[in-house]
Structure formats: structure tokens, C-alpha cells
Structure 1
């Protein structure tokens, strides 16, 4: 028999009854039922119940066993009594009577966290003892899912005639929107390599080298501030690039790959097909975000015309300033003062003075009495008898200030009815768009409008290449400077703020899953694009010399994208935090508590690298 097991802890069935078997695994839990010891023995594959009574030659040894000890048992498979069958596990029809036991690894001291059960533990504890945390069923499931997703992606890419190539991990520093991790050179004192933020330049060089279709499950390194959907140090992405393609070709390539993965691993949730394409400007207007959650049907609209010269002085005066507007967030079924007040409080927590609102309700007797100039009781009677139609009325402070004609025009524009509401934000869009977007999400969630059983995808396209600093008037890049401008060199001779790039992101359920572009492969267009942002040709050659040089030797038109593996798995696993799908993540301060990183270098290491560590500024 094998030294450690004849079967896994998920492998035994009723037809094994009477067999002599050997199992190895961890003690999930121990139960003492009247002198008979029951152990749930667990390995990566599942759980088998083993039992031991005083007749067993190793009963005294089994009594010493505790949770999370690693053991090997030999025993005989027995059928459980029908009333004791556990239908929740595959091995639930059988149990194993223990005849021999070997302790493979015991536990020294108390467990810092229990693997059995659903107890919540502080994240710091979970990360310090990640090897224990990973034994838990949910974490085993998440990491298995991750492995299966990566395998599926690889197969789907090979099926589409892509080949996988590995690009360097140690390279030159190349700013791509985040901070580099620098690596000091021992052979070249005072000089530094960098860990790649992405294989961006190398995959473009592969296209110049004639490889046509490249992909890689690529590690990327960025020194970033952490958040729930982003690792502060490293992450993995499906990186791909193609030659002789336009934007739609890239979409047509990646869409079936990702849709297939979500259909395969999405647990039966609906996966949208025929992904719509939304311009960056429309996404900002309608959703307040360039990664909108389209499961939520709410679309924001501009309603400035209804407030110009109105009795609501705050908005009326605001709209006299250049570049300002008022936007409405429709809230179907949100027409109660309680809900409106709650959303107003939400805006205040977000740092705004508040959020104006109007809600529509059945016309009250008070309103009818005021309208007809009759007593309230008479109005009640007329409403009850049907002599007067009730209809609807607009309520809330805004409605009183702007009057019935304007509120009715707003209602009709937004397509709202009795029982609905609308919320309003005003100013320069960039100042309030993000808050409006978050408010839209909260409204959709609280009113039950967001379809939780669906994956909704959309391409965000037509990103502006440049932006203007309102204080200095300086033009700089707003998005990827290496994207081919729509219209090429001709577009760059016009208003820079009107120049759009062939750049695109894929949003799914409120997360950015993919980012990519058709690349600017023409050196003369690249130099002009950087010149507009204040970077001369000499500086461009200094920063990106390898790529610029390659483009002078017959570079093909090319483009591609990268899809975040961690975020894809996070969505498929139904998690809100990316650390739940990464084996050994850093904490919120970019620390590895288990391996004690970052750590202090030794004096010998510093001398060898010609480095000196300065004390932090007080």
C-alpha cells in the first residue's frame, strides 16, 4: 500500500464497504459520543468520517489527536446506518474504523484561527497565518476556481491561434501611470532595474518582431495605494497583442474568451452577450463612472434648462457660471420623504452640502383644497366621490421653489410616475460626477433595481487623450499617451481637447476588467502627440528609446488589451475584496505579515549594492 494513502478523503463510496484503506489529511474536528471517537478527516478533495472505539489497538493514541493535526490512518470501510447517512458530502454513506494511526504533524500550542466553522477573524490574523486560513473550505474553493479560470483562459487563447510568450521580469523603468518597484544593480553601482508595471513595451516589440498574435498570463508590479479591488504590489493579467488589427478586431477576439469563462464558472448567472459600446463622455454623463454597473438600469440626465432662471436660487446662480450644469438621478419607486432624506444624508457623508430631490405622490386633499379654493373636508369628499380627479403632485423643497410647470417638465423628461423620485446635483461635472455615480449605485441597490443575478458587460470607448489643467492652462495626457489618435496626425493639428484615442476599457458589474488600445506605431505621430503635452522629441527618445527605435524599422499597425485575472476571479467567486482570491496577498499597508516583508537589508547587502539608507524625515 502507498506510504500515505490509498484513497483521498473524497474517494470512498458504498461499494468500498469492507475494504482496507489508508487515508491522510487534517483533523477537521473531533467528537466524543459516549466513548466512541469520531474524526472528520479532511484533505484538499473532501472529508471522510473515521471512528475509533476502545476495541481499536490505537484508541489511546487517537484520544490525543486535536484539530488540525496532520495524521495518517489505516482502517476498514463500514456502511453507516441509514438514519446516519450524511447526504451533504460525497462520502456520507460510509465511515472508516481506525486500526492504525501515525501522527504526521501535530500542532504546537493553540490555533490562532479555527479552520472548522464560519468564524470571522481580523484580516491581520488571517494574513499572518495564511497557511491556516487557506485550509478553510471557502478559500480552497476560491483558489481552485482561480486555477481553473487561468487554465480555461489559456485553452481558449490557444484555440484562437494565439501563442504564449514570456517577457522579461527585470527591465528598465518606464512610467506607465503608477510607481515602479526599483531593483538596484550590483554590477552597475548607482543604476537600477525595474519590475515591469505591465509587459506593454515588450508585447509591442513582439509585434514589430513579426509574431502576430501574442498572449501571456503575466505578472505585473506596481507600487500603488491598496483598495478592495486592487493589490498594492503585484497582480496577474491576461495580456494580449495582435498585428494588423482595428479596434473591433480586438473586441471580437476577447469577447468570446471572457464570455465563455463567465458562462463556465459564473454559477448559472446570466452572462450578457452583444456588449454595447459607450463613449467615455456618455458613461460619465449617464453613470458618473467609466466602469458602470449596467445591472442597474438608472441613467442620469442633464436637466439644466429646467433650473435656469428658476426660483431655486442655488442652481439658478450656479448655471450662470461657465461649464456648469445640473444632472438628475432618476429613482423609480423611491418616492418617499424617508428615502429622499436618507439619500440627502448620503450626499453629506460624501462631502457635499446635500442633494436636492423631488418626489411624486398622489395629490393630497390639502393640494386640491388650495388649488380649488375650498375647505380641506370638501376637497376630501370630492376626491372620494371621484368628482375631482386626484392625479399626482410633486413634493419636496425643490418642487416648491421651481413650481409645477418645471417639475412636470422634469418628470416627463425622466419618464417618472407616482411613487418615483429624482435627485439633483449641480456644478462643474468633474466636481460631482463621482459622487453622482456612487449615489446612482446606492439608489439602485437600496430600491432593489440592480439585477444581482447577472454579469453585464460594456466597452467604454473614445477616451480623450488630453486634458487641460484649469489652474495653469497646461495641456497634459488624460489617458494612455501611446494610443493612436482617431484621425491620426490630422487630428493632432486641431483642438487637443477634442482629440479622442483608439483606447477602450471593458466594464463588468462596476469593475474595470480590461484596458487596451490600438497603438500609436508611427514615430512622427508619437512625437507630435507628446509635443502637445510639452515633451520634446529628445525626452521621448530618452524615456522610450527602445520602442521608438523599433518603430523606425517597419512597425505594423497593432493593438491589444489586458484583462485582470484577480478581478475576474473575484467577480466569479462572488467576493468584494481581491485578497479573497489571491493566495498570499499583502495587507492594506503593503506588508506581508507572514514572511515579514518588506524587511531591513543587512549592511553587507547595502555595501555590495553601493547603497545607503537614509533615516526617515522627522
Structure 2
């Protein structure tokens, strides 16, 4: 049975005690990290959110407390009162290591069974076990450090945006389904049976309505929901730092967010972000790095060697060029001696990105080794080496195909080689870049129509509006992503505020006037009443915390995350509900056997 506090008050946190507290009588409360009985003395490492404090109990200090302390086990929750004294054997690796508390009184507030996971830093345990016992996982000091960082980052962001004149405003969680991105999470309505709310994928439409409402600068740190197949570092519910500004252009949004980034990374991680942050057009990012979120911390840029080989006799190169594609390469430094088996594995790797194969050239001290050398004239081979700025010892990896395949395959290969060679092992830098001038639209071959690259309210670049109907794939967007170390940290755009232009956009996307109004009518109606020019941006807050906390797993920065199947081992959600609840909603569940019979 646990004892009550009975008026006992905690005077300080375990991790806050220092030499300046020597002589004080203090009351601390927390969990038993470790207990050691050395005969006449019992030592307990007591842990709370702020750290660990050594508590010593002895027969000479207080015999009753000594006997009681010997009963406690790991993870018992206890309260201890006593005098702070200097430790006889200091532990300089602990912030509290110069002092200890002499336990004169102890209360066992609650007992604990043996935990199914160790409460320690750098725990090596199966993810589903950690998630099932998340409340224990969250007790661990390294996890508590992460959530202190998350709290502080949110506060820094709020304070900064408040100083800049932003108002924090909430938007609805139950809204209308407007699918034009990922799949919505749907919520059935009891009052309107057969109809559904949707959980927001983002507050996009509402924040634009707030600009129409004249609030000028809005922000919120808000939950968003997307029912999509999960990949690494994605969760079905996630948090955005969302903002929108009126009477601004792209440069204004970028400027205020560069200040925000600088402040957050300085105050939380002690990192000085140099401003202005580099900007890179989407086309350049794709051609040099094969990605719209390029990692700039290492080289191996993609080089177009099409001109160097356009007259060669190698059939694979010739057919790719004749079909309107290209031949491109990356240079891997100091890997000319890579074994044939390893290179063959790289060939299999690029095939997963639809490439037909991988050509290679090993530039060695006394020879050039390559299975395609016999198809290239001496001057063509020299031109290839020059195009990639090859040095003795380099390995050149080449893909030929249509441009989209070449860039995707080499972009992935570039990252794969970086990982294989462990190039970033000791790299602690933060490399930011703004990627700009995205395509406004992309063509969906399955549906036979253009679709919005970001969302249908993104403003085209002024000089490209003329091509909206005649050459939609040519139109660039006033869109911008902030990328950090190869990850998209956030993204946004200038919005369309002109009704006529918005209607043109919908038409290009394949909406009839009726279907556009059916789906987005409340926004289009609002745009009849003097909408201001406006633009915005949203950060993936969880991803930002990953960088600030130095973890590579998004589940580490979310208090109660789902696993890769969007399932919660802790609460066992999703789960079945009572038949009565379903009846109230007018919902019937068709069992699999019944489906098969039908």
C-alpha cells in the first residue's frame, strides 16, 4: 500500500541540488533508479524530471528510515526529507555529484512491479514494447530531455511570432472533406447520418479565410491528420507550425522565417545559422542532386554528360538520347578500387528506381577500367572524365534513360553512397537551403490530368500565367520549401487571391465550375469580398524537433506515437466499438465473410 503525502511538500527537484544547498533541509520526490545496500548504509539514486540525486540512509542517521529504505525497489515512487551534505566520494559526471541528501524520513508513495523495459538512457528495446509501455519509456532521462526541448522550442516560436505581430488562433478539427492531397480521416456524424466530417490535413483553407477576415498575421501550433501508408518518419497525426500573412510577397515570408529559424536554432541548439539562407530553384536542385530536398553536406553532384557521349557507339546511351532522355553521372571520390560485386549491387539498387542499369568507369593510376570503354573513343572517354572533374582514384557511376528516371535514380544513389561510405559520421553541421520555383502542376498519367504540385490555391509566377492553359507543365509556382540536411523542414507559397485566376486554375485541374464550388465553395464565396494578397508557410514541428534533439526517429519526439501500421500498442487503437454507437451513427459493419458471399 502506498502512503499519502499528508501535507508533505516537495521543496526542490532532485536534479537542481548543488553545493550552494549544503546545510539545507530539503524534501525531494521521485522514482528509485537504483538501490545499493552496503551493510550499515543504503544508497538510493532518486530520479525526477530534472535529474538524479544520491540519497543515503544509515542507522546512525535515522534507524527507522534506514530499515524502510531497505524495502524499496527500482521504480518505487518515494518522498525523502533530510539534510544536504557534501559527498565523500564526488561524482563529477553528475550535475548533482558533489552533494547527497541524508535521509531522515522516507515515505513509500507507491510500489512498482519489475518494469518490462529498463528506465535508462540509450535503451535498446523493440519499438512495439517501447510504445506499449510508453509511459515508462517517457520516464527515461533522454526522452525527458527531448520533450523539454520540444516545450522550449514551441515557446521560442510563440514568443518570436508574438513579437512580430502574429496572433495565435485556432481552426476547426472537424471540417469538410476536400480531398486534393492525401486521404482524409473521416468522422461520421450522429446528427447528420450518412454524412461525415474530415480531420484537417492542414488548416490551409481556414487560415486563408482568416486573411480575408483581416487578421493580417496568424499562426498556430496545430495537429494535422493524413490517412496514408506510413513511411519512415511519418505519422498519421503530426504537428505543424502554421502561419499566414497578408499584404506580402515571397521574399517577405522568407525573411521573417529566416529570422525565426536563426532564433530557434540558436536558443535551442546553440547553432548560428548564417543569413541569408541560400536559395536554389527547383530545376537546379533536381539536376544537381536529383531531389527537391537536396542534402548539401557532401558532394557527388549529378553531372550531365550527354554531350560528351552523344556520338558514341554504346547502344544504351544512344537510345536514351534519341528518345529525348539524357546520360548523367556522379563521381564517387577514392572508390576506383571498388569490387565488381559491390558495383553490381549498386546496379541492382538503381533498378529499384526504374533505371535499366548502371554503367561505370574506374579512373585508376595506370589505367581506366570500364565495361563500356570499348564503345567510347579516346576523346569521348576524356570528355566524360572532364565533365565530372574526375581525379585518379575516382569511380564514375552513370545512368542513361528518360530524365525523370535518371535524376531519381542518381539522386537516390548519391544518398546511398554517402551512407555506404559513412561520409557524414562526424558531420554536425546544419545546411539549410530554400528550394524555390517549383512546378505549379504535375501530370498524373493514371488519371490523365494535371494536378497541383502543392495545392490548388498556389499562385503561378507572374511571367508564367500566360502558359496556364497552353503549356501547364511549364508554369512555375510562387512556392518555397525550407530544406535542412536533405529533409523538408517546411514549405509554403503565395496564394491566389484573384477569383478569375482561381477559376482558371480549377479549370486546368479538371474541375467544372460546379465541382469546384461544391468542394471549395466556402472559400470561393469569401473571395468575393475583397481578399488581400496573402502567403504562408508551415513547418513540420516534429521534424524540427528531431533536428534540435539530435534524433533520427520521429517517434522519439511525439509523446504517444503510432507504429508503422498506424496502430497504438498502448491503447490498442483503432479498435471495435459498441453496436449501440454504430446504430446511433447509422453505420453497419459488413464482415469479410458476408463480402465474399456477395
- For the pair 1:559 / 2:535, whether they are aligned, the reply is yes
The secondary structure found in structure 2 opposite 1:319 is helix
Gaps of 5+ in 2: 1-5
Q: 2:139 aligns with which of 129, 135, 141?
A: 135
Q: 2:305 aligns with which of 292, 299, 303?
A: 303
In structure 2, the partner of 1:375 is: none
CA–CA separation in structure 1 for the residues paired with 2:575 and 2:497: 42
Q: Tell me by how many angstroms 1:302 deviates.
A: 1.3
1:246-285 equivalences in 2 (<5 Å): 246-268=249-271, 271-285=273-287
Q: 1:76 aligns with which of 56, 78, 83?
A: 83
Q: Is the Cα contact below 8 Å between 2:326 and 2:406 reproduced in 1?
A: no
The one-character-per-residue Cα deviations of 1:431-451 (angstroms, maximum 9, x if unpaired) are: 343332121123334446557
In structure 2, the partner of 1:187 is: 191
In structure 2, the partner of 1:345 is: 345
Taking a change above 3 Å as real, the CA distance of residues 16 and 485 of structure 1, as seen in their structure-2 partners, is closer
Q: 2:399 aligns with which of 421, 425, 445?
A: 425
Q: 2:452 aligns with which of 447, 454, 477?
A: 477
CA–CA separation in structure 1 for the residues paired with 2:321 and 2:429: 39
The one-character-per-residue Cα deviations of 1:564-583 (angstroms, maximum 9, x if unpaired) are: 11000011111111001111
Q: Tell me by how many angstroms 1:462 deviates.
A: 1.5
Q: Tell me by how many angstroms 1:473 deviates.
A: 5.3
In structure 1, the partner of 2:337 is: 336
The secondary structure found in structure 2 opposite 1:58 is helix
CA–CA separation in structure 1 for the residues paired with 2:144 and 2:121: 14
Q: 2:375 aligns with which of 382, 385, 401?
A: 401
CA–CA separation in structure 2 for the residues paired with 1:271 and 1:399: 46
1:117-516 equivalences in 2 (<5 Å): 118-231=122-235, 233-268=236-271, 271-321=273-323, 323-338=324-339, 342-350=342-350, 351=352, 354-363=357-366, 393-447=367-421, 449-450=423-424, 452-470=427-445, 474-487=449-462, 489-516=465-492
In structure 2, the partner of 1:569 is: 545
CA–CA separation in structure 1 for the residues paired with 2:582 and 2:447: 42
Q: Tell me by how many angstroms 1:405 deviates.
A: 1.5
The one-character-per-residue Cα deviations of 1:496-537 (angstroms, maximum 9, x if unpaired) are: 111111122111101111111111111211111221232111
Taking a change above 3 Å as real, the CA distance of residues 607 and 423 of structure 1, as seen in their structure-2 partners, is same
The secondary structure found in structure 2 opposite 1:68 is coil
Taking a change above 3 Å as real, the CA distance of residues 40 and 549 of structure 1, as seen in their structure-2 partners, is same
The one-character-per-residue Cα deviations of 1:270-306 (angstroms, maximum 9, x if unpaired) are: 6343222222222111111111111123321211122
The one-character-per-residue Cα deviations of 1:341-399 (angstroms, maximum 9, x if unpaired) are: 53541341453554221122222xxxxxxxxxxxxxxxxxxxxxxxxxxxxx4322233
Gaps of 5+ in 1: 364-392
Taking a change above 3 Å as real, the CA distance of residues 518 and 571 of structure 1, as seen in their structure-2 partners, is same
CA–CA separation in structure 1 for the residues paired with 2:21 and 2:167: 45
CA–CA separation in structure 1 for the residues paired with 2:94 and 2:460: 58
Q: Is the Cα contact below 8 Å between 1:242 and 1:560 reproduced in 2?
A: yes
The secondary structure found in structure 2 opposite 1:39 is strand
In structure 1, the partner of 2:51 is: 46
Q: Tell me by how many angstroms 1:544 deviates.
A: 0.1
The one-character-per-residue Cα deviations of 1:40-61 (angstroms, maximum 9, x if unpaired) are: 0010011110122344222222
The one-character-per-residue Cα deviations of 1:186-209 (angstroms, maximum 9, x if unpaired) are: 111111111111110011011111
Taking a change above 3 Å as real, the CA distance of residues 472 and 198 of structure 1, as seen in their structure-2 partners, is closer
The secondary structure found in structure 1 opposite 2:515 is helix
In structure 1, the partner of 2:585 is: 609
Q: Tell me by how many angstroms 1:456 deviates.
A: 0.9
The secondary structure found in structure 1 opposite 2:501 is helix
The secondary structure found in structure 2 opposite 1:49 is strand
Taking a change above 3 Å as real, the CA distance of residues 542 and 288 of structure 1, as seen in their structure-2 partners, is same
Taking a change above 3 Å as real, the CA distance of residues 471 and 39 of structure 1, as seen in their structure-2 partners, is closer
Q: Tell me by how many angstroms 1:35 deviates.
A: 4.4
The secondary structure found in structure 2 opposite 1:57 is helix
Q: Tell me by how many angstroms 1:267 deviates.
A: 4.6
In structure 1, the partner of 2:3 is: none
The secondary structure found in structure 2 opposite 1:78 is strand
Q: Is the Cα contact below 8 Å between 2:16 and 2:96 reproduced in 1?
A: yes
Q: Tell me by how many angstroms 1:320 deviates.
A: 2.3
CA–CA separation in structure 1 for the residues paired with 2:442 and 2:39: 76
Runs of 4+ aligned structure 1 residues displaced above 6 Å come to none
Q: Tell me by how many angstroms 1:227 deviates.
A: 2.2
In structure 2, the partner of 1:588 is: 564
CA–CA separation in structure 1 for the residues paired with 2:26 and 2:530: 66
Using structure 1 for the length normalisation, give the TM-score. 0.90
Give the greater-gyration-radius structure (CA): 1
Q: Is the Cα contact below 8 Å between 2:30 and 2:48 reproduced in 1?
A: yes
Using structure 2 for the length normalisation, give the TM-score. 0.93
Q: 2:101 aligns with which of 96, 99, 112?
A: 96
CA–CA separation in structure 2 for the residues paired with 1:164 and 1:347: 51
Q: Tell me by how many angstroms 1:593 deviates.
A: 1.4
Q: Tell me by how many angstroms 1:489 deviates.
A: 4.8
The secondary structure found in structure 2 opposite 1:299 is coil
Taking a change above 3 Å as real, the CA distance of residues 448 and 126 of structure 1, as seen in their structure-2 partners, is closer
Taking a change above 3 Å as real, the CA distance of residues 209 and 92 of structure 1, as seen in their structure-2 partners, is same
Q: Is the Cα contact below 8 Å between 1:10 and 1:46 reproduced in 2?
A: yes
Pairs aligned (count): 582
CA–CA separation in structure 1 for the residues paired with 2:123 and 2:480: 42
Q: 1:106 aligns with which of 108, 111, 114?
A: 111
Q: Is the Cα contact below 8 Å between 1:271 and 1:454 reproduced in 2?
A: no
